[in-house]
Amino acid sequence: MRQFFKFMFASMLGTLLIGVVLLVLFFGAIAAIGSAFSMEGKPTAVPASSVLHITLDQQIVDRGPKDAFNFDFGPFKGTSKLGLNDILDDIEKAKHDDRIKGVFLDLGMVPAGMATLKEIRNKLAEFKAESGKPIVAFADVYTQRTYYLASVADKVYLVPQGDLDFRGLQSEMMFMAGLFDKLGVDIQFIRGSDNKFKSYGETFTRKDMSPANKLQMTELLDGVWKNYITDVGSGRKLAPELLDTIAAQMRVRKAEDAVATGLVDSLLYRDQVLANLKATMGLDADKDIDFVELPKYTKAYVATKDPGGSATTKWSLPKVAVVYAQGEIQDGDGEDGAIGGATLSEAIRKARKDSTVKAIVLRVNSPGGSGLASDVIWREVTLAKAVKPVVVSMGDMAASGGYYISCAANKIYAEPNTITGSIGVFGIIPNMKGFFNDKLGLTFDGVKTHKYADMMTVTRPLTEEEKGIIQGFIDRFYATFTQRVAEGRNMPVANVDSIGQGRVWTGTDAKRIGLVDEIGGLEAATAEAAKLAKLGKGEYRTVGFPEQKDLLQQIQESLNAQARSWVAKEAFGEDAELLDRFEQVRKARAMSGIQARMPFEVEVY
């Protein structure tokens, strides 16, 4: 009870504090924003003999911000994001830029999924092979993710007292059944009759993984690991079997072990690495290196010619629309970092009706969400496919609702370590009667006009008859889901059901069972869409959908996010993490509709 009132009063105080913090942050940012506006639109000057400096220490999203403006100053420090599209474009640009002599991977923590890292790694490998320019990697500590990226480099360096984590992958889930037992909350989790792998509700209803969930998670990790050691082995010229043994026996326990096993070339401090970098890239040993950071290089201009050498400007070329769908799928317009069913549908519709758009790439990076919103988006994909080619590019995750909106496309591309599938649905309705009655002393009473009018209430448990009704809703939606996939993938419904049931797959396995057509990233999917539209290389330009928010809207959202974060830490202190758990309860309450969502929140590390 004490904690409850603490939360309640802190929330009231937080409302006032957010306003105060917003004002402080706003006035603190005015000078920096004015300076940023004055620089807007000016191309970055790249000195001769420069080095592209890649750190990737900011959150990586599929699509970079609208304005070539880096929110990494003053009150916005640490809140800016990198777009995968910009990263790939920049590496491609550097490949042809005579001013860029090589790439320096200066790595720490990289907040990105494995499929995103693979796309960047593949692009770096292409850069190295086609340009002949060197790549040098360096870190104080290599996590398994950052080492995966670093292994593409010509030289990999580690500080003498540093560390390289190389011991295999793990994924750990949190189970909150014990918490809800203490609170007197009963999570009523209803899934498709045969959806034994659709285990999202286990987070709320169990204290451990079910056998089905453990099986699919084990096979998922094994698939990701196999791809990991294959790529690392290729980069470091080490057999995958040897790498597997190194991890199994944890042979890397100190920096010297990283060199002895062949994972690292040398142990050097930063000044030594920079000296080697100058020698490797043919730079003046007596001058400081001219590093060009990724966000700034995005604005750099590099002259290029189309294959025919004509004077046609890129603005007159036909378009391939890239429609970005990243985040959870929500009804309506959605919010920042989420896919709104109405918003994304409108974007696809605009691309379909635009006569200058000859093909559409739907970039999906989503664990799913609202079943209704997924179906609304699916309809627009189907309509678009009827008039122009539609190709899906899957990112780190395109599962459940994320697969639902993908299945109607002409072709589907995924990375080997993309998490996809999860064809299944569920519903969650918390019964909070025990919490209200026993913990808070609250009781409820009321009247209704019809028998089922209060069926979705959280103040009492569902009756068996009501559970049966909801089960019917879910089973019918699952039948619709499998039918959509069967039509889109030209498969019998029975086959879809056999690989469905809520089960997740890696991109490699998804290709094997027919859920995916090709292994590849965003660039490969875009090239295929252009090919289906009979457009050759250099004969089209890409445009992004939906329309992005302008600079002032981005600033406002950044201020709001910072204010909320500050208030949470100040008001709740050490209990801020407990607040996050209550937020998950709130989300469970919001998921009273049918959900086509990943069976669990997976974090592989």
**Is residue 469 predicted with pLDDT exceeding 80?**
yes
Nearest to 568 by CA among 15, 5, 2: 15
| Dihedral sign (CA 16, 20, 21, 26) | positive
- Per-residue pLDDT tens over the stretch 362-392: 999 999 999 999 999 999 999 999 999 999 9
User: Could you say which DSSP state residue 316 is in?
Assistant: G
pLDDT classification of 591: cutoffs 50, 70, 90? very low
* Interstrand relation of 426-431 and 290-293 (parallel, antiparallel or unpaired): unpaired
Catalytic residue among 49, 370, 393, 400: 400
pLDDT classification of 590: cutoffs 50, 70, 90? very low
**Is residue 258 predicted with pLDDT exceeding 60?**
yes
Q: Which residue has the higher pLDDT, 31 or 235?
A: 235
Comparing 147-151, 172-176, 358-362, the range with the smallest average pLDDT is: 172-176
Catalytic residue among 155, 198, 319, 358: 198
Our answer to whether residue 198 is catalytic in this structure is yes
Distance of CA 428 to the CA centre of its chain: 24
Q: Is 463 left (phi over 0), alpha (psi -120 to 50) or beta?
A: beta
Strand order of the β-sheet with 595-597 is 186-191, 426-431, 595-597, 368-370, 328-330, 338-340
152-156, 432-436, 462-466: which is most confident: 152-156
pLDDT classification of 122: cutoffs 50, 70, 90? very high
Comparing 12-26, 220-234, 251-265, the range with the smallest average pLDDT is: 12-26
**Mean model confidence pLDDT for the chain:** 85
Question: Which amino acid type is present at position 401?
Answer: G
- Per-residue pLDDT tens over the stretch 278-303: 999 999 999 999 999 998 998 888 87
- Per-residue pLDDT tens over the stretch 9-41: 555 555 555 555 555 555 555 444 444 444 455
| Helix, strand or coil, per DSSP, at residue 541 | strand
Mean pLDDT, residues 589-597: 57
pLDDT classification of 549: cutoffs 50, 70, 90? low
Our answer to whether residue 400 is catalytic in this structure is yes
**Is residue 333 predicted with pLDDT exceeding 60?**
yes
Please tell me the predicted confidence (pLDDT) of residue 190.
83
Supply the pTM of this predicted model: 0.85
Q: What is the CATH number of domain 314-427+456-597?
A: 3.90.226.10
- Are 46-170+240-297 and 314-427+456-597 equal in CATH topology? yes
d(CA 49, CA 281) in angstroms, rounded, equals 9
d(CA 69, CA 80) in angstroms, rounded, equals 9
Alpha helical stretches, state H, 151-260: 177-183, 202-205, 211-236, 240-248, 255-260
Residue ranges of domains in the chain: 46-170+240-297, 314-427+456-597
Question: Which amino acid type is present at position 77?
Answer: K
Mean pLDDT, residues 44-63: 93
Nearest to 11 by CA among 599, 576, 410, 600: 576
Q: Does domain 46-170+240-297 have CATH number 3.90.226.10?
A: yes
- Per-residue pLDDT tens over the stretch 396-442: 999 999 999 999 999 999 999 999 999 988 888 899 999 999 989 99
